């Protein structure tokens, strides 16, 4: 049995989303230019965008309100940097699951493969759970991306916080309509035309 079999397979991301995917999935941005509302982080020349474009990432925390795109941005980073993407939910994962994936990620790192470990609602992890990531972040076995709606200064342990860069995401909707037509076109392209009758 492969050591890597415990890693969940990455979700397929075709250039044209499949017709049977949910609408929200079809409309997820596939490029940095399609990511709406975070120009202070992802605009041309901004530090996070430069890191992604140069494929030179460090561990990071995304802090922002629900619905601002933290999970979508983490997935987009993994896609654009050709990294393995492993997602944890702080509500469901325990120490055992974390350690299992860290072992696999360490082996992959030694063979030149990179793993992005995304932890949603990282503020819900207790100290012991957060500690389980620390040695692997320090050793460079993983790129840690945490997402939180709470102030990480109070909710993330100091050793982990000191090894990550905090990016603050805000909810910005004013440019949403300017891209809705292009997203709608993608959705229509993914929907097969009904058969014609003679």
12 in a domain, yes or no? no
Task: Tell whether 1 is covered by a domain.
Answer: no
- pLDDT tens for 33-50 read 888 888 899 999 999 999
What is the CATH classification number for the domain harbouring 40?
3.40.50.300
Q: Which two tokens stand for residue 25?
A: 């999935």
* Beta carbons of 71 and 29 less than 8 angstroms apart: no
> What is the reported pTM?
0.75
Residue 137 confidence (pLDDT):
95
Residue 197 lies in a domain: no
Do the Cβ atoms of 64 and 169 come closer than 8 Å? Answer: yes
How many domains, the chain?
Answer: 1
Q: How many residues does the chain have?
A: 198
**C-alpha neighbours within 13 Å on the C-beta side of residue 182:** 12
Considering the domain boundaries, does residue 8 fall inside one?
A: no
| Partners of 143 in beta bridges | 116
Residue range 111-138, pLDDT digits in tens: 888 999 999 999 999 999 999 999 999 9
Residue 100 maps to a domain? yes
10 lies in some domain: no
Domain for residue 198, yes or no? no
Structural domain span for residue 92: 17-189
The pLDDT of residue 23 is 67
Token reading at 54: 């140069």
Our measurement of the distance from residue 112's CA atom to the centroid of its chain's CA atoms, rounded to an integer in Å, reads 20
């Amino acid at each position: 049995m492969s050591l890597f079999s415990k890693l969940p397979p990455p979700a397929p991301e075709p250039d044209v989303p499949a017709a049977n995917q949910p609408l929200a999935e079809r409309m997820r941005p596939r490029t940095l230019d399609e990511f709406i509302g975070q120009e202070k982080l992802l605009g041309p020349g901004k530090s996070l965008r430069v890191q992604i474009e140069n494929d030179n990432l460090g561990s990071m925390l995304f802090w922002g309100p629900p619905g601002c795109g933290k999970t979508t941005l983490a997935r987009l980073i993994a896609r654009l940097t050709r990294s393995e993407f492993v997602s944890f939910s702080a509500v469901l994962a325990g120490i055992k699951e974390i350690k299992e994936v860290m072992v696999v990620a360490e082996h992959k790192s030694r063979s030149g493969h990179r793993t992005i470990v995304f932890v949603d609602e990282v503020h819900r992890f207790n100290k012991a759970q957060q500690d389980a990531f620390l040695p692997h972040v320090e050793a460079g076995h993983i790129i840690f991306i945490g997402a939180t709606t709470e102030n990480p200064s109070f909710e993330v342990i100091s050793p982990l916080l000191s090894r990550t860069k905090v990016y603050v995401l805000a909810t910005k909707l004013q440019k949403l309509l300017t891209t809705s037509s292009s997203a709608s076109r993608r959705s229509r392209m993914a929907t097969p035309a009904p058969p014609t009758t003679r």
